[in-house]
């Protein structure tokens, strides 16, 4: 049983993550991704005061002694960098993190108000959200429960005597994310995005990515050794002797390495065409005869399937040999570890702390955990986010912010169309299809028009006998049933993949939509009463970033209807790939730590998003200024300078070395400093704004500059 099984209903952020993840959240998930790739107004009548007190540009954070042509990062953020320490309970700290902390505090306030007021009757979604949060905060009950929430599942695993027993266990406990060698998911068919299709997936392992198992560099070898020690330590909580625990850990690492080896690399997973492999059930049976697949799928509730989309055929094929030759004791140890590891962060304080020692401290460099209230709130937003979002937007999201954001989006879309029309490397036919896709974007701002229905979700308050473990199980089962109910049915494109209180934004290629939750529509990204240059450099560039995802190396493979259909000529695709390679080369050269370089190919989609986003937002600002007139300088800066300073501001941040290493291995976003400066080195307008000359650090030779969209 996994106490944190979040099914694939939220798989809309971007296609690389969307179809490469295990259908449950594990202890290793990084929830700190920004702008896929994740508003504190007290109430409407206080907005005037709050906004007026927040300057568009925080001059006190800038280092005016730095030369922007030499070190733009320091020029914009120097004093902030000098005076800011990463909090002990964080692995990084920056604009996103500051805003997320404020957003969490606001959400906590509305939840506490809901709890204290007793204004929401039992059975309402808001009551369920509050009850879930309260159960997560009841550490006394959680500690008293000990291992009891997962003991029945561990006991079942002890009784496994064969591979068939293990497969039966996986089927039985699929609704709660039970241990398995494969995953089953339902989400839109990549080639027919209006229909929900079945997918056969890989599973999540104890380490964050395949590279951790395969790479032979010193750091990876060291991390594997520490992981093995962690596994052995955790088995101690299950009453296993030190010697036996060490033996189990060694065999588990060997098995997980065998499972990881045939999986796609993270770069391969970014290509959706490699992941789309429809196969008849009989063909799957031939590739992996260790299980009766028709029986397996029928038992899951996916009855009478004729075919299924296999994300990673090589994994499924290799699985047959791996599993068929597996001794029963190793199989049971793997299942035991999978169940325990996926639930450890939600058990007693002692177990949770041990789990954090490896996943928080060792892997990511954190010194201490986030406060209990924040962890509980994160989980509540994760599993029952929209009812909390209702409370949040009612109090904190003014309608003026939504209206003005829509105006900006419309303006940036015009600028994007102008740029497409002006491209010298794309033929007229492909331009017409690109424009059709752009004009077909669905835009979602703030919060859903139709809220998710949680009426079938059973959450029990602690005073009524409910528990954190019980409520987590309930959300897992509800998520599974919700997902399975969609199989073969039309896709509901009104659904959101993020809650309103999430500080992030996303593009979903299957819906061809860009989505901006309420929580990101505030400073430093957006201040609806601030200077337009600052807004265009902040949220405007974020808007442009998400639009550009529709035309990055992944999004460009989907048409205006969200189907994976090629709308490019071979000539245009070749020209596009050539420009992409230049951007790959640029980011490959960045070396944030000695011997640790950014992976330009892995981060390509996000880097295209940033480059396109800054370009179209800048052009959008010029359209605004042409229509409304140019303001005087503010604090000595022209609108163009303020635009670029604003862009540099939103990426300010610090990150611990361990977290940076993990980020480069697992996160398709480049580190913040390179998101800030990388695109600007390619923009002539930046050179003009800050008088960048040949020989300056921010200068790139014209032939090396990248212009894609």
Which tens digit of pLDDT belongs to each residue from 308-346?
999 999 999 999 999 998 999 999 999 999 999 999 999
The confidence band for 60, taking pLDDT boundaries of 50, 70 and 90, is: very high
For residue range 73-104, what is the model confidence (pLDDT) as tens digits?
A: 999 999 999 999 999 999 999 999 999 999 99
pLDDT at position 572: 98
In degrees, to the nearest 5, what angle opens at C-alpha 451 toward C-alphas 563 and 510? Answer: 10
> Where do we find the tokens 């939600």?
346
List the one residue out of 35, 198, 37, 190 whose CA is nearest residue 558. 190
Q: What is the pLDDT confidence band of residue 17, given thresholds at 50, 70 and 90?
A: very low
Q: Give the start-to-end residue ranges of the domains of the chain.
A: 44-91+408-442+509-704, 150-327+354-363
Span 123-135, average pLDDT: 94
Sheet holding 183-189, edge to edge: 183-189, 192-201, 307-310, 278-280
What average pLDDT does range 165-190 have in this prediction? 96
Taking the C-alpha atoms of residue 538 and residue 404, their distance in angstroms, rounded to an integer, is 14
Q: Are 581 and 544 in contact (CB under 8 A)?
A: no
Fold of 44-91+408-442+509-704: Collagenase (Catalytic Domain) (3.40.390)
Query: If pLDDT is split at 50, 70 and 90, which confidence band does 707 have?
Result: very high
- What pLDDT shows up at residue 20? 33
Question: Which phi-psi region, left, alpha or beta, contains residue 597 (left: φ > 0; alpha: ψ -120 to 50)?
Answer: beta
Q: Per-residue DSSP letters for 121-179?
A: -TTSHHHHHHHHHHHHH-HHHHHHHTTTTTHHHHHHHHT--SHHHHHHHHHHTGGGT--
State the burial class of residue 696 (Cβ atoms within 10 Å of its Cβ: 0-12, 13-18, 19+).
Answer: middle
Instruction: Give the span between the Cα atoms of 87 and 558, in whole angstroms.
Output: 41
What are 295-304's pLDDT values in tens digits? 999 999 999 9
Q: What is the DSSP letter of 201?
A: E
pLDDT at 611: 98
pLDDT tens track for 246-292 = 999 999 999 999 999 999 999 999 999 999 999 999 999 999 999 99
Residue 232: pLDDT over 60: yes
The 10s digit of each residue's pLDDT in 652-674 is 999 999 999 999 999 999 999 99
CB 604 within 8 A of CB 556: no
Checking if the pLDDT of 601 tops 70, the result is yes
Assigned token pair, 471: 């409520």
pLDDT at 244: 98
Whether the CB-CB separation of 514 and 591 falls below 8 Å is answered with no
DSSP 538: I
d(CA 27, CA 57): 37
Neighbouring residues of 569: CB distance < 8 A, sequence distance ≥ 6: 427, 429, 430
pLDDT reported for residue 260? 98
What CATH fold (topology level) applies to the domain 150-327+354-363? Neutral endopeptidase; domain 2 (1.10.1380)
Within 13 Å, how many C-alpha atoms sit on residue 10's CB side?
21
Structure tokens at 340: 């325990």
Position of tokens 């611990």? 656
Distance of alpha carbon 225 from alpha carbon 229, whole angstroms: 6
pLDDT digits (tens, 9 = 90+) for 466-523: 999 999 999 999 999 999 999 999 999 999 999 999 999 999 999 999 999 999 998 8
Number of alpha helices (DSSP H) and beta strands (DSSP E) in the chain? 30, 9
514: left (phi over 0), alpha (psi -120 to 50) or beta: beta
The C-alpha angle 423, 425, 427, rounded to 5 degrees, equals 85
d(CA 307, CA 104): 43
515 — phi, psi (to 5°)? -135, 130
Task: Report the distance separating Cα 102 and Cα 10, nearest Å.
Answer: 24
**Residue 2: its pLDDT value, please?**
53
**Residue 29: pLDDT above 80?**
no
Q: To the nearest whole percent, how much of the chain has pLDDT over 70?
A: 92
Tell me 310's DSSP state: E
Sort strands 307-310 and 278-280 into parallel, antiparallel or unpaired: antiparallel
């Amino acid at each position: 049983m996994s106490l944190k099984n979040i099914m694939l209903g939220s798989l809309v952020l971007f296609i690389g993550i969307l179809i490469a993840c295990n259908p449950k959240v594990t202890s290793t998930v990084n929830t700190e991704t920004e702008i896929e790739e994740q508003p504190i107004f007290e109430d409407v009548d206080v907005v005037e005061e709050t906004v007026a007190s927040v300057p568009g540009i925080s001059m006190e954070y800038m280092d005016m002694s730095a030369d922007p042509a030499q070190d733009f990062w320091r020029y914009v953020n120097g004093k902030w960098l000098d005076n800011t320490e990463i909090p002990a309970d964080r692995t990084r700290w920056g604009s996103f993190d500051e805003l997320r902390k404020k957003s969490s505090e606001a959400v906590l306030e509305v939840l506490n108000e809901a709890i204290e007021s007793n204004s929401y009757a039992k059975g309402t979604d808001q009551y369920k959200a509050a009850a879930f949060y309260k159960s997560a905060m009841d550490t006394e009950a959680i500690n008293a429960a000990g291992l009891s929430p997962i003991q029945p599942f561990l006991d079942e695993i002890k009784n496994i005597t064969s591979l068939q027993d293990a497969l039966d266990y996986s089927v039985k406990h699929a609704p709660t994310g039970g241990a398995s060698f494969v995953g089953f998911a339902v989400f839109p068919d990549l080639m027919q995005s209006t229909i929900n299709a079945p997918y056969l997936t890989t599973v999540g392992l104890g380490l964050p990515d395949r590279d951790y198992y395969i790479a032979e560099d010193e750091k990876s070898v060291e991390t594997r050794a520490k992981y093995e020690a962690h596994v052995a330590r955790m088995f101690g909580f299950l009453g296993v002797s030190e010697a036996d625990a060490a033996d189990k850990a060694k065999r588990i690492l060997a098995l997980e390495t065998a499972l990881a080896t045939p999986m796609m690399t993270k770069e391969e997973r970014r290509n959706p065409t490699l992941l789309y492999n429809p196969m008849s059930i009989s063909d799957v049976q031939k590739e992996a005869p260790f299980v009766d697949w028709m029986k397996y799928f029928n038992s899951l509730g996916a009855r009478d399937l004729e075919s299924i989309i296999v994300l990673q055929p090589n994994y499924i094929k290799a699985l047959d040999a791996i599993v068929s030759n597996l001794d029963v004791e190793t199989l049971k140890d793997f299942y035991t570890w999978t169940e325990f590891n996926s639930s450890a962060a939600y058990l007693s304080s002692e177990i949770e702390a041990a789990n954090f020692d490896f996943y928080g401290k060792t892997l990511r460099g954190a010194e201490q955990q986030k406060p209990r209230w924040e962890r509980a709130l994160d989980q509540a937003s994760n599993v029952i986010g929209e009812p909390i979002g209702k409370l949040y937007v009612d109090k904190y999201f003014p309608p003026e912010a939504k209206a003005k954001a829509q105006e900006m989006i419309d303006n940036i879309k015009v600028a994007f169309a102008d740029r497409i029309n002006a491209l010298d490397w794309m033929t007229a036919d492909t331009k017409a299809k690109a424009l059709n896709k752009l004009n077909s974007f669905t835009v979602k701002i703030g919060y859903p028009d139709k809220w998710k229905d949680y009426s079938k979700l059973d959450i029990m308050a602690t005073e009524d006998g409910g528990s954190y473990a019980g409520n987590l199980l309930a959300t897992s089962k509800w998520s599974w049933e919700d997902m399975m109910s969609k199989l073969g049915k039309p896709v509901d494109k009104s659904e959101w993949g993020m809650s309103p209180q999430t500080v992030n934004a996303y593009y979903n290629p299957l819906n061809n939509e860009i989505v901006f939750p309420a929580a990101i529509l505030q400073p430093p990204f957006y201040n609806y009463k601030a200077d337009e240059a600052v807004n265009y450099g902040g949220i405007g560039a974020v808007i442009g970033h998400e639009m550009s995802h529709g035309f990055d190396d992944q999004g460009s493979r989907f048409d205006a209807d969200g189907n994976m259909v090629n709308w490019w000529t071979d000539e245009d695709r070749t020209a596009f790939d050539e420009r992409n390679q230049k951007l790959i080369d640029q980011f490959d050269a960045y070396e944030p730590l000695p011997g640790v370089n950014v992976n330009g190919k892995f981060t390509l989609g996000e880097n295209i998003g940033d480059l396109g986003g800054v370009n179209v937002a800048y052009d959008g600002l010029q359209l605004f200024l042409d229509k409304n007139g140019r303001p005087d300088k503010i604090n000595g800066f022209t609108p163009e300078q303020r635009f670029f300073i604003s862009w540099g501001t939103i990426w300010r941040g610090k990150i611990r070395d361990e977290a940076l290493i993990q980020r480069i291995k697992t996160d398709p976003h480049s580190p913040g400093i390179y998101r800030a400066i990388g695109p600007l080195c390619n923009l002539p307008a930046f050179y003009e704004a800050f008088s960048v000359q040949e020989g300056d650090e921010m200068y790139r030779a014209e032939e090396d500059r990248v212009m894609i969209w």
